[in-house]
Structure 1
Amino acid sequence: MKNTNSQKIRLGLFVIIGTLLFMTGVYFIGQRKEMFKKTFTVSTYFHNINGLQKGNNVRYAGIDIGTVSSIAMVNDSTIKIDMSIDEKITRHIKKNAIASIGSDGLVGNMIINIIPGKGASEGISNGDIIKSYSKIGTDDILNTLNTSSENAAILTSDLLKITNSITEGKGTIGVLLNDTIMAKDLKQSITNLKVATQSASYTINELNTIIASVKTNDNTVLGMLLNDTISGNKLKHIVINLETSSTEIETLLKNVNRVVDDFKLSEGGYNYIVKDTSLVNSLKSSLENINEGTDKFNQNMEALKHNFLTRGYFKKLERQKEKDEKKEN
């Protein structure tokens, strides 16, 4: 009996252990399909993995080539992703390949897509790190839509305020829409502008007519100048004469300059008057004597005005001068 119970216990433990081992094997096979394949590791870095988990698939050109083996936080803004990739795919993936995070369908699990890079490059090897490209996530799109909705609501509110102000007659546009007097004035201004435009058009037509008549009519001065070849030749002859006269005047001026230079270089009376310093000193002395004599004469006249013998005469002259000024006024 004892042997039977012991055998039952051993059998139960064997069944339990075997079941656990079977479940563990199924789990690992389900999570890591490449469990019995030769693999190599490739890494990349992301700032946001958008819900990617360990064991999610890795695809290259739409083909499952491996799984995500580990996810590690490097710092507060960088996450390292290690991928276990089938060794047979090594010759197809280059070092310039780019990794991006996508979804398996609309609501499926997150996956890593490896996109071939542009240009020639070496094949990838075990432990290499490839570049990554982060797409705009759903949260970012929702945040952008939320911000756009808020801005649209603010814009709608502002437009409603502007419309109400215009309807109430506030502002320039409101006055234009609601003020009938200004509307009449504006209408009158447009009418005046139309009349002015018509007048300008009429004036332009008249000018065109005048220009046409000038071109064809030889009786007017302008017509004669434009069309009469004889008058044109006369005018040309006058211009030639003016040019000849200017040349002769230039020659005359040269001769005058030559005469002036001869005066300056000669030793005659002109040279004596201009360059003789003794004559200049004599003239200067004479002028000083004249100024001194004039000053003394003024002093003598002032003394005579105050002399008792001649003072009455000068007062009489002053009274006569005042009477003449009163008469003139």
Structure 2
Amino acid sequence: MSSADNKRTVIVGIFTFLAIVILVAGIFTLAGQQKRLISTITVTAIFDDVAGLRTGNNVWFSGVKIGTIKSINLYGDSQVEVVMNIEEKVQQYIRKNASARISSESFIGNKNIVIDGGTQSAAPIQDGDRITAVSPLNTDDLMEKLQQNNENLVAITGDFKQLTSRLVNGEGTVGALLTDTTMAQNFRDVVGNLQRTSQSTVNASRSLSAFTNKLNSPGGLANQLATDKEVFQQLKNSMTQLEEATASTSEITENLRTASSRLNNNNSAVGVLLNDQQFARQLQSTMQNLETGTEKLDQNMEALQSNILFRGFFRRQAREQAKQQEQQKQQPAPQQVQPKDTTRQEFKPSILIEN
């Protein structure tokens, strides 16, 4: 063979060797990604719907890739059995009460299985165990809900557009506030009044606080009522006396009411005097007759004093009165004695004489 052929053979051999090396490296790389050369255990889960899960997709645990999907088989009437190859070294972290759920790498990315480790009280899983499967979220249901949300958003946007247009046109209270200067000024006045009211309330609260501080100051009436038992007892006694006085006043009022009712009663003497006009006229006539009789009696007495038959008697009476007055003057402690009206007491039959 010529040197050129030898050179060509060597170059072809080198490229063949490099191709074999690249092929072997690719095989080992792919095997490493697919966990083909790592000791694994088999774990199964039964799903109602795998939502597009495929053989070879990844299995994740706490954000770490721990295996791949070995196979997907129909199970029972309408369920699907998913067989997973899981690295043996993570077996101790996954418990028998762990659960598997289908997730996706992105919104439209590849599907994968995520395993939740379970509780520490459960034993680790073994080769061939079956773990609980959690049904995945249906993409069609998600899209339907998204479509409903979009329709609701469109309706809300239309309502908001209508609301903003009414505000711009000055319709409604808020629109009037935005466009009507008079209403805006009234609103400012209301806010100002509220501020003044708030300030007045603050001032009243301060005054009330100062007043309560004075009430609580030592020596004050309120402080004594709250702390001094003697003052409280005196106040209690005063209230008792006031209650007794009130009861007495009520009794007096009741007596006055009873007396006034009796005065208004025509069956009593005072009631007749106050209410019976005929009796009042009769009484007035009687008093007039008595006054007339008294005048006539005085005239009869004057006539008797002038009568010769009784003139001596009246003179003796006058001398006896004068003598008694002299005796009273001579006594050291004279007592005032009213003279007897002999003219009216001794001669009652004067009326008979006149008659």
TM-score bracket, normalised by the shorter chain, equals 0.3 to 0.5
Q: TM-score, normalised by structure 2?
A: 0.40
- Structure number, greater radius of gyration: 2
